[in-house]
């Protein structure tokens, strides 16, 4: 009967990854880079459960994430639970919960696994690990400059040069002001147009302008302040659409700014873009570009938003994404605490390191392999191994019973640098030979005089 039963599939669930030891080794070194850089700037690590009440994401994460991408289920106690699709609402919840005890500004980082029901494709999977770096309690632009500096530092640590990647910056505050005040639309239309701009690259240009025009058209009654002028005459939906498209098609920051009336030029949004670019330039970070089409999908961003892109066409997805969110913590009933931060995924990190030939080499599982001839010598070999381990050496013992040649070749295949072969003779004399598999060099040592680390044996 048993062989008639349907065999289980060995494939992982769609869009998630198994990490075999080689993959895990790469993953560990990516996490190592993340931890290293974040801690260099004084950030402390925190963690949380993957399970969150579903309502946490409804208020501010954005419709696409909540309606199309979350894994949500009802638990046995009838609660709606979501596997976290991002960490920002969780960290906001945690900071709000301990606001009185925590010492601000807070510099926190975390490496959570996140779940999004996306169409798996290059750079996008259904479970990924994401470095989150966030600073809380700083209202000045210095917070943005610091977190973007950290993102830059990580890109450099992946092995990329300044000319290999680009940091794109925009201001939600500025765009909301332009769409709302300059074109005089209401809140709902601002949100709709923001979403459309966010999707602009994936849309046909004609469809994009039709969709924008539709929003302006349906907001007709609320459009009051044509093209930033003082007239109370509303711009037609066509004029508003043309005006917005012209702005979106500006080639650079200067051109964009020159198309705005002076009133907008003094707006804090435009000023903060200038300041963040200048602040980064001051740190020698010049691969920063203003991108008026960069919106970011989440509803909670209130100020500067940014993304980092590899310029190699093999990797078209954002490597980092983040920005300022000043209102998120107020959702928990506290006064405002501003937050600025970013997320950076492990998949894109791996892809770009691979593209640039910077994937870390898999570390050998041990420094020494002990090969054994004769089952009776296993206890002695294990004892030798134990002594070496106590001195800090990573040792593996081959008690497979395979031929000696095979044992040595197995050790070599695993990248283990040295072997000690133990047979009757070694047990009798207590004299062991450490052999370097690369150079072929051999060194004889008394078993009770074995060195603490392999390097000392040289």
CB nearer ligand HAM, residue 184 or residue 339: 339
Does 124 help bind ligand HAM (rule: CB under 6 A)? yes
Among 123-131, 244-252, 410-418, 441-449, the segment contacting ligand HAM (CB under 6 A):
123-131
Residue of minimal Cβ distance to ligand HAM:
345
Establish whether the linkage from the previous residue to 453 is cis, with ω within 30° of 0.
Answer: no
CB nearer ligand HAM, residue 14 or residue 79: 14
Kindly list the distances between the CA atom of residue 96 and the CA atoms of 312, 316, 340, 425, in Å, as whole numbers in the listed order.
40, 36, 15, 68
Size of the site for ligand HAM (CB under 6 A): 22
Does 116 help bind ligand HAM (rule: CB under 6 A)? yes
Among 27-35, 121-129, 384-392, 420-428, the segment contacting ligand HAM (CB under 6 A):
121-129
Angle at 114 between CA 67 and CA 74, to 5 degrees: 50
CB nearer ligand HAM, residue 273 or residue 347: 347
Among the listed residues 264, 229, 258, 263, the one whose alpha carbon sits nearest the alpha carbon of residue 246 = 258
Does 235 help bind ligand HAM (rule: CB under 6 A)? no
Q: What are residue 85's phi and psi, to 5 degrees?
A: -90, -15
Give the rounded distance of the alpha carbon of 328 from its chain centre: 20
Establish whether the linkage from the previous residue to 74 is cis, with ω within 30° of 0.
Answer: no
Indicate which single residue of 27, 155, 322, 352 sits in contact with ligand HAM (rule: CB under 6 A). 322
Please say whether the beta carbons of 24 and 262 come within 8 A. no
Angle at 341 between CA 335 and CA 345, to 5 degrees: 140
Q: Minimum CB separation from ligand HAM for residue 89, in Å? A: 8
Does 86 help bind ligand HAM (rule: CB under 6 A)? yes
Among 6-14, 124-132, 235-243, 330-338, the segment contacting ligand HAM (CB under 6 A):
124-132
Please say whether the beta carbons of 224 and 234 come within 8 A. yes
Indicate which single residue of 33, 43, 57, 134 sits in contact with ligand HAM (rule: CB under 6 A). 134
Cα separation, 452 vs 458, whole angstroms:
12
Does 17 help bind ligand HAM (rule: CB under 6 A)? no
Does 320 help bind ligand HAM (rule: CB under 6 A)? yes
How far does the chain reach from its first CA to its final CA, in angstroms?
Answer: 60
Among 28-36, 287-295, 313-321, 358-366, the segment contacting ligand HAM (CB under 6 A):
313-321
DSSP state of 159: T
Does 135 help bind ligand HAM (rule: CB under 6 A)? no
Kindly list the distances between the CA atom of residue 302 and the CA atoms of 171, 187, 216, 266, 295, in Å, as whole numbers in the listed order.
8, 13, 22, 18, 11
Q: Minimum CB separation from ligand HAM for residue 126, in Å? A: 7
Three-class DSSP category at 343:
strand
Q: Minimum CB separation from ligand HAM for residue 354, in Å? A: 15
Does 347 help bind ligand HAM (rule: CB under 6 A)? yes
The residues that touch ligand HAM, with contacts defined as CB under 6 A, are 86, 88, 116, 118, 124-125, 128, 130, 132, 134, 318-322, 341-345, 347-348
């Amino acid at each position: 009967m048993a062989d008639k039963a349907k065999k289980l599939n060995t494939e992982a669930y769609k869009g998630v990854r198994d990490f075999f030891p080689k993959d895990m080794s790469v993953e560990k070194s990516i996490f190592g880079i993340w931890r290293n850089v974040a801690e260099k700037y004084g950030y402390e690590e925190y963690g949380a459960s993957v399970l969150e009440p579903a309502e946490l994401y409804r208020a501010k994460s954005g419709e696409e994430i909540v309606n199309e991408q979350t894994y949500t289920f009802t638990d046995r106690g009838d609660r709606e639970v979501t596997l976290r699709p991002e960490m920002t609402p969780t960290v906001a919840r945690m900071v709000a919960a301990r606001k009185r005890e925590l010492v601000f500004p807070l510099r926190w980082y975390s490496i959570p696994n996140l779940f999004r029901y996306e169409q798996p494709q290059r750079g996008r999977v259904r479970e990924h690990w994401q470095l989150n770096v966030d600073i809380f309690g700083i209202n000045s632009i210095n917070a943005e400059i610091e977190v973007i500096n950290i993102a830059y530092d990580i890109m450099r640590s992946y092995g990329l040069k300044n000319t290999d990647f680009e940091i794109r910056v925009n201001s939600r505050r500025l765009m909301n002001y332009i769409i709302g005040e300059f074109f005089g639309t209401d809140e709902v239309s601002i949100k709709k147009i923001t979403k459309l701009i966010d999707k602009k690259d994936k849309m046909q240009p004609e469809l994009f302008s039709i969709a924008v025009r539709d929003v302006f058209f349906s907001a007709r009654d609320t459009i009051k302040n044509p093209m930033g002028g003082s007239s109370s005459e509303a711009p037609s939906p066509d004029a508003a659409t043309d005006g917005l498209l012209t702005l979106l098609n500006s080639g650079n920051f200067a051109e964009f700014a020159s198309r705005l009336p002076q009133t907008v030029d003094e707006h804090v949004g435009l000023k903060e873009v200038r300041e963040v670019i200048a602040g980064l330039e001051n740190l020698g970070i010049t691969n920063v570009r203003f991108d008026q089409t960069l919106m970011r999908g989440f509803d909670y961003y209130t100020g500067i938003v940014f993304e980092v892109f590899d310029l190699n066409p093999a990797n078209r997805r954002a490597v980092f994404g983040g920005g300022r969110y000043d209102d998120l913590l107020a959702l928990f009933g506290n006064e405002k605490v501003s937050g600025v931060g970013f997320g950076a995924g492990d998949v894109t990190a791996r892809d770009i390191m691979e593209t640039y030939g910077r994937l870390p080499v898999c570390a050998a599982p041990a420094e020494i392999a002990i090969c054994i001839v004769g089952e009776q010598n296993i206890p002695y070999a294990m004892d030798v191994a134990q002594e070496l381990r106590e001195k800090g050496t990573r040792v593996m013992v081959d008690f497979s019973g395979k031929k000696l040649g095979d044992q040595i070749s197995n050790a070599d295949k695993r990248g283990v640098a040295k072997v000690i072969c133990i047979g009757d003779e070694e047990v009798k004399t207590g004299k062991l030979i450490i052999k370097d598999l690369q150079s072929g060099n051999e060194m004889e040592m008394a078993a009770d005089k074995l060195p603490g680390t392999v390097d000392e044996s040289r």
